[in-house]
Structure 1
Amino acid sequence: MCGFLGEFLINGTAPMKSNEFEILLSLSKQRGPDTTIIERSDNYQFGFNRLAVLDTSVNGNQPKCSPSGRYLCVINGEIYNFKELIDIHNITGLRSTSDSEVLVHMLDQLGVEQTILCLNGMFAIAILDTHTNMLFLTRDFAGIKPHFYGVSKHGVVFASQFNQIWKHPFFKDVKVLRQDIVKEYFGVGYMQAPNTIYKDIYQVNPGELLFINGDGNIQQKQLITFNKDYESYSREASESFETRLHAKLNESIKSQMMSDVSLATFLSGGIDSPLISAMAREHEKTIVSFTLGVDSEKYDEREAARAYAKHIGTEHQEEVLEVQMVLSSINTHFKHFTEPFGDYSSIPTYLISEQARKRHTVMLSGDGGDELFFGYPRMTDVLQRQWWFSIPFFIRKPLVRLLIKMKIYHSWAPYTNKSLQAFILSKQLHIPFKSLNNLFPNTSFSEEFKELYTFQKGSKKQLLHQLRWNEFYGHMQRVLIKVDRMSMAHGLEVRVPFLELKTIRTAWKYLPKFKNGKFRLKEVLKKMMRVYYPNTLISQKKKGFSVPVEDWLRNELLEDVTEAVLKKPIYGVSDESILLMHEYVHDFLIDKHHQAWGVWHIYAWQKWAISEELI
């Protein structure tokens, strides 16, 4: 992985001074610790911090110019099918064995849009066409790699990190908070693309291509998207689908194992990473698997991972952390979030990345399996309660109350949520609707966020497909932010075979079979697991490497929470909302409620604002 920063200037605006640009570029140095190079001209600057993975020589350095001299390009990420593209397009005269070298040759042959459509990988790319003075920004179809940009009257600034945009002189002193996106952050804990908390600063959407001309006008085109409609699912026999999925995932893993530096796999006690590890072992007999354990029986997965590794014969490595070591890393880990982010599982992700990087530069991960193959119990819960929302609310509300009082029904969900959309969103909100609306009165969610949580009425299968679409473009984006930022904190590249283009397209045509209105979570992956493991291993209950955040917030972190939250104004919200947030956190600390996730969102927001000297 790498980090880049660029300026594309209009109206005769002069480029940022060299030393100031270098300081701003250095903010992403941890993403690319090996080499830093800057290309400048009268109306642009491209800066690049490189983590060398393919062709580690100077020939693989960026920014990279196409053979004709027409295109200047930077890419953060990997193009997995670059060797295949060499043969398909008969590319000759390559000056290095890097994927970025193939990219610039293809730009000369095909132009920008057709080139991007050929790519299979995880990437954020910026391309300047020097003949037409046109800038192009694009991002991979799953949103694995970050790509931020800011728009001003002086030009466009683009970067791998959020803080490299808002700290740029075009935005540093004129930052305007968007209260709708701030509200979304406190609800779900991250900034949902294409928006950020600041006006005029955005994220490139997954699969999007932006065209920016010399006057600063921007056109957007969605090159690759995955259908929200039900028609995309396949009616083929499950046995046929399993065979095809197995083949596609196998191809994905094989292509992602190309590396000129040390590569290994993460291995937990679940389904996704053991499957990836087993298939990787078929391609590389000496593949290493890696597990991080903790001195807590509740969260430690070493025994299960060890059993998986022994069965498939990987060289297995383990590291163990004591609780005190985890606690001591929290402040350091916050410093690596250049944007507000409120998922406390970032702590173990930070630590496992730190330990893995001591021995390896590239890791294969099982991320994406839950979203693509229906791994979340909340999906089944929505399907089971869907029928309630066909009853008018004024009838449903007293009916639910009566049934609960008679001990016939046990869930308040149809009582507290007016619509199915609200019910689904409530499962992702970590500060409840009522509290969130009190904190941000007269503030609605953004239009893009509303669209993400709009569901059409239909059958259980139709709804289930829409739930996958929602998870893919919603919750999974938070997971990918966490993995990218925490792995890049240590210069570690994490690859995700489930999110390879052909694998996603294959998965998108699948829906599980229903029996008595229910389905089994991740059934197709469990069937694939049986090719490699006995049922006794597959049936183990996953523990999940997490942290006891509720206990920590009230004890070990109490002093820091008090200092960061209760003794300071909350950045970017009104005085009335500050009082309500202080009350919300105080009530949690004295055990009046148990919404630890919501408290963590507030705490993480403040830690980010403090580290960036915003308060």
Structure 2
Amino acid sequence: MCGFLTEFCFKDTISTEANCFKDILALSKHRGPDASHVISESYFQLGFNRLAILDLSENGNQPKQSKSGRYHVVFNGEIYNFKALAKHYSLSSINSASDTEVLIDLLDAIGIKQTIKNLNGMFAISIVDTVTKQLYLARDFAGIKPLFYGKSKHGIVAASQFNQVFKHQWHSDQSLRLDVVKEYFAFGYMQAPNTIYKNIFQVNPGELVEINISGDIKTKTLLKFPKTTEHKSIDYSRLDKAISDAVNRQLVSDVPLATFLSGGIDSPLVSAYAKASRTNIEAFTLKVNDKGLNESELAKSYAEALEIKQHIISVEENSIIDSINAHFKAFSEPFGDYSSIPTYVISKESKKKHTVMLSGDGGDELFFGYPRMLDVINKKHWFILPRIIRKPLIRITNKLGITNTWSPYLDSFNEFIINKHTHLPSQVLDNAIPKTVFSDSLKILYTITNGKKAAILQQLRWNEFYAHLQRVLIKVDRASMINSLEVRVPLLDKNVIENAWQTTENLKSKSDLKRPLKQLLSKKVPENLVTKQKKGFAVPLHKWLQNDLKNDVLDIVNKTKFYGDDVFNAQYLRQYVKDYYNAKHNNFWGVWHIYAWQKWAKLHLN
């Protein structure tokens, strides 16, 4: 796991000084503290900060040049099938035991597009083809690893971090995109391919971006999982093998490796498969001093059942609060998911003993784990009716006690689904950023056709995978990499995704959520553990905002210049925070989005 920086100049001559390039590269030093190297040619520069995981020798350092001399590469992530690819394509002249070595040999053997299509892993790759004078940017099919790029009159800057692009001297014009700013305040993150700045973008999951020396940009989707698919029943033996193989591939490491272990389903399942292959595997669990949120006891029961050595990281509330400012430094883009706080804390503690961790992220999105999916299915019938009929009808059924919901008041089925993912009221957003609608790319993500149950569920999974999961992956990547910790996600292995995508669950109750994973886990631990209620990976944010964080929130929101208030009306956002402290609403998550925006601006725009 690493961080990289690319400059690709349209004028055939690099115009930045070497020291400026190195200063920008240094912004991602925490992503790769073990080695740092730069190569400079007439029209491009590549820089790399390495976190050594495979082949700890200098042979694993980057940037790399293919043996033909045609391709120059920087690559962040892991390619888990690199040994299988080397064997399949008879790559015999490998000089190191790193996956990067296989990558550059594959480029010579089968070309860029075919190479990327063959990869199974988490990756962000920048490739300069010196024959055609073109830059290629590629990102893994689940969007696990970040890849930003900005276009200016000078050329392209591509990097692992948002701030490496917007702080680059080619990008002094930082014009805000109000549609994406509005999306941030609603959803709490920047959804690819957009960012809050007009000329800076993210590579989509599974996308290849091709840029020539004249500045023409072409994008090609190499793999995108379908929005609809034919329903098949679950083959448990096949799923079991897919997850087992994925975990085994991701256990390959030349540095200490362990797992995260919560009281849920996903991380215990990953830990169980890891234990089956590596008997001395260890697990890390976070214990918080709040009975309503602490799940360390259930995680302890899992560890005992699996006979895994467990490290319980017990953190006092004051210690976590003290970490919040340091935690904000991890996010060089605006980010408002407050579960990033415990993720940062456990990553920091885990790094003291290990460099690689396995997590269970992706299970909820792939295997229908969210109650909101069930709620959509249960209320889909309301949206067959026109709103003019729905609204008075639901008032009557609510009054009679037949129903107890406000959902049918919403304009459409898609607005109902969007509402489940947003944390600021549309009225506040529309007043703060008027005459602005969400971007076309986001609208596409939340376009779900109301119809048969199975078809809706498949569309909901597609939506969760390409939307909400991206927020989860941003959280985990930034909170871990600020601590120079690599987190691998076996449930997002390409083969596991493909296996899961072929099946659709028949959700009738909460017990049906994530049933395939529960079935597999119940074969490895007592079933009574599997059926217990997970508490969630969270912190008592409402309590903190009302007490320890109150002064900082009020100061940075009300007494500090609000970033962007020259192009939108921030007063409505300020008022929303004031209303929270005046007990007019209790939407602490929405307040956190506003607070996090200001913290990001203060910490990263100077």
Give the TM-score normalised by structure 2: 0.98
2:465 to 472, 480, 487: 472
Structure 1: how far apart are the matches of 2:344 and 2:437?
Answer: 33
5+ unaligned residues in a row in structure 1: which ranges? none
1:501 corresponds in structure 2 to 494
> How far is 1:89 from its partner?
0.5
Q: Which residue of 2 aligns with 1:115?
A: 115
2:55 alignment counterpart? 55
CA shift, 1:485, in A, is 0.1
1:343 deviates by: 0.6
Moved more, 177-186 or 303-312: 303-312
Amino acid at match of 2:563: Y
1:376 matched to which residue of 2?
A: 370
Matched, 1:153 2:150: no
The match for 2:548 among 543, 556, 576 is: 556
Q: How does 1:110-189 map to 2 (within 5 A)?
A: 110-172=110-172, 174-189=173-188
- 1:98 pairs with 2:90: no
Structure 1 match to 2:4: 4
Shift of 1:551: 1.5
2:603 maps to: 611
Q: Is the 8 A contact 1:30 1:491 kept in 2?
A: yes
Tell me, in whole angstroms, the C-alpha distance in 1 between the residues paired with 2:164 and 2:82: 29
- What is the aligned partner in structure 1 of residue 232 from structure 2? 235
Amino acid across the alignment from 2:126: A
Secondary structure (helix, strand or coil) at the match of 1:479 reads: helix
Deviation sequence 1:487-534 (CA, Å, 0-9, x none): 00100000000000000000001111355x987101111110111011
Which of the residues 572, 579, 584 maps onto 2:576? 584
464-473 vs 404-413, greater mean Cα deviation? 404-413
What is the distance in 2 between the residues matched to 1:575 and 1:113?
Answer: 41
Amino acid in the other structure paired with 1:182: V
Does residue 419 of structure 1 match 2:416? no
- Counterpart CA distance in 1 for 2:510 and 2:329 is 44
2:602 aligned partner, one-letter code: I
- 1:77-476 mapped onto 2 (5 Å cutoff): 77-172=77-172, 174-229=173-228, 232-236=229-233, 238=234, 241-415=235-409, 417-476=410-469
Q: Please give the alpha-carbon distance, in whole angstroms, between the structure 2 residues aligned to 1:8 and 1:163.
A: 17
* RMSD, matched Cα: 1.3
The answer to whether structure 1 residue 492 and structure 2 residue 469 are counterparts is no
Contact 1:28 1:160 in 2 (8 A): yes
Deviation at 1:469, TM superposition (A): 0.5
Report the Cα offset of residue 313 of structure 1: 1.3
Report how far residue 480 of structure 1 moved: 0.1
Shift of residue 442, structure 1, vs aligned partner:
0.4
- The answer to whether structure 1 residue 72 and structure 2 residue 105 are counterparts is no
Tell me the CA shift for residue 552 of structure 1.
Answer: 1.1
The aligned amino acid for 2:218 is: Q
Q: Distance in 2 between matches of 1:180 and 1:234?
A: 36
Q: Secondary structure at the match of 2:218?
A: strand
More displaced 10-residue stretch of structure 1: 368-377 or 400-409: 400-409
Q: Give 1:406 shift.
A: 3.1
> Which of 566, 588, 592 is 1:596 aligned to?
588
C-alpha deviation, 1:390, in angstroms: 0.7
1:566 to 549, 558, 565: 558
In structure 2, do the counterparts of structure 1 residues 594 and 221 end up closer, same or farther at CA, with 3 Å as the change threshold?
same
Compute the displacement of 1:11 (Å). Answer: 2.1
Q: Quote the offset at 1:292 in angstroms.
A: 1.6
CA contact (8 A) 1:513 1:519 kept: no
Amino acid at match of 1:186: F
Distance 1:233 1:276 in 2: 28
Which SS does the other structure have where 2:564 is aligned?
coil
Whether the aligned pair in 2 keeps the contact of 1:8 and 1:155 (CA below 8 Å) is yes
Letter of the structure 2 residue corresponding to residue 52 of structure 1: A
Q: Amino acid of the residue matched to residue 366 of structure 1?
A: G
Contact 1:380 1:519 in 2 (8 A): no
Q: Indicate the percent of aligned positions where both proteins have the same amino acid.
A: 52
Deviation string, structure 1 residues 423-470 (Cα, Å, up to 9, x no partner)? 000000100222212221100110000001111132011111101100
For residue 512 of structure 2, give the secondary structure of its aligned residue in structure 1: coil
Partner of 1:316, secondary structure, is strand
Partner in structure 1 of residue 506 of structure 2: 513
Q: SS in structure 2 opposite 1:583?
A: helix
Q: Distance between the aligned counterparts of 2:338 and 2:450, measured in 1? A: 34
Structure 1, 312-321 or 260-269: larger mean CA deviation: 312-321
Q: What amino acid is the match of 1:546? A: A
- Alpha-carbon deviation of 1:228? 0.5
- The structural deviation recorded for 1:83 is 0.5
Alpha-carbon contact 2:413-2:450 (below 8 Å) kept: no
Give the letter aligned to residue 285 of structure 2. T
Shifted more, 435-444 versus 463-472: the winner is 435-444
2:12–2:213 CA contact under 8 A, matched in 1? no
Offset from partner CA, 1:216-251 (integer Å, 9 cap, x none): 11111000000002xx24324x3xx11111111111
Structure-1 separation of matches of 2:379 and 2:426: 19
- The residue type equivalent to 2:141 in the other structure is F
Give the TM-score taking structure 1 as reference length.
0.97
Over 3 Å counting, the alpha-carbon distance change for 1:576 and 1:51 in structure 2 is closer
